[in-house]
């Protein structure tokens, strides 16, 4: 019964998350990466930043999405973009995910505060994050929030949006 109530509250709490809108200053955060190093969003002002929130390391959809960003990383880097994957798994899980799939970008550990600040809901009854992304412009403002993400094609959409931002 307790699990049901907690799951129900989690499901309903996602309806009350604050949605970010285009032009709004992106919420700043600090989080540990896969190596335990603190990463501060404010340190990347002057560059477009992609935050892709994903449910869980090593699941099929999350692996497809992360590998899509990996496969297009040189294009993203050429555009001056920085990419961070964000989920609630710990450093050890992120480190293994990076090693298993040769990911060239950091994965950040979310204690729940980053996803909350960005309005990322959890999958009901699981406590894991829904697949969403945010694109932040060089001035630190939200350029776009992606609420419907297809893991296999999302990176192409992000690349096009970054090209629009920098032109």
Chain segment 63-78, per-residue pLDDT in tens: 999 999 999 999 999 9
The CA-based angle 85-69-131, given to 5 degrees, is 50
Q: Which of 49, 62, 103, 143 is catalytic?
A: 62
What value does the mean pLDDT take over residues 21-50? 97
Provide Rg for the chain, Cα atoms: 15
62 is catalytic: yes
pLDDT band, very low/low/confident/very high, at 1 (cuts 50, 70, 90): very low
Residue 161 pLDDT greater than 60, yes or no? yes
Q: Residues 79-107: pLDDT tens digits?
A: 999 999 999 999 999 999 999 999 999 99
Q: Where are the domains of the chain?
A: 2-166
Per-residue pLDDT at 8: 41
Residue 12 pLDDT greater than 60, yes or no? no
Residue 37 pLDDT greater than 70, yes or no? yes
Q: Residues 113-130: pLDDT tens digits?
A: 999 999 999 988 888 999
**Minimal CA–CA distance to 52: which of 154, 162, 167?**
154
Per-residue pLDDT at 158: 98
Look at the block and give the residue holding tokens 């970010």. Answer: 20
CB 145 within 8 A of CB 61: no
d(CA 31, CA 36): 9
CATH fold for the domain made of 2-166: Glutaredoxin (3.40.30)
Residue 14 pLDDT greater than 90, yes or no? no
pLDDT band, very low/low/confident/very high, at 18 (cuts 50, 70, 90): low
């Amino acid at each position: 019964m307790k699990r049901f109530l907690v799951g129900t509250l989690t499901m309903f709490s996602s309806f009350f998350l604050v949605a970010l809108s285009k032009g709004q200053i992106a919420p700043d955060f600090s989080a540990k990466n896969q190596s335990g190093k603190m990463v501060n969003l404010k340190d990347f002002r002057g560059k477009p930043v992609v935050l892709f929130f994903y449910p869980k390391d090593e699941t099929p959809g999350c692996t497809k999405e992360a590998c899509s960003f990996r496969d297009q990383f040189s294009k993203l880097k050429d555009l001056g973009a920085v990419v961070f994957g964000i989920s609630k798994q710990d450093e050890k899980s992120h480190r293994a995910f990076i090693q298993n799939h040769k990911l060239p970008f950091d994965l950040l550990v979310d204690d729940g505060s980053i996803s909350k600040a960005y309005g990322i809901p959890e999958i009901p009854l699981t406590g894991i994050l829904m697949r969403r992304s945010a694109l932040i412009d060089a001035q630190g403002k939200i350029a776009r929030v992606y609420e419907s993400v297809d893991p296999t094609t999302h990176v192409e959409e992000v690349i096009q949006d970054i090209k629009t931002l920098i032109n």
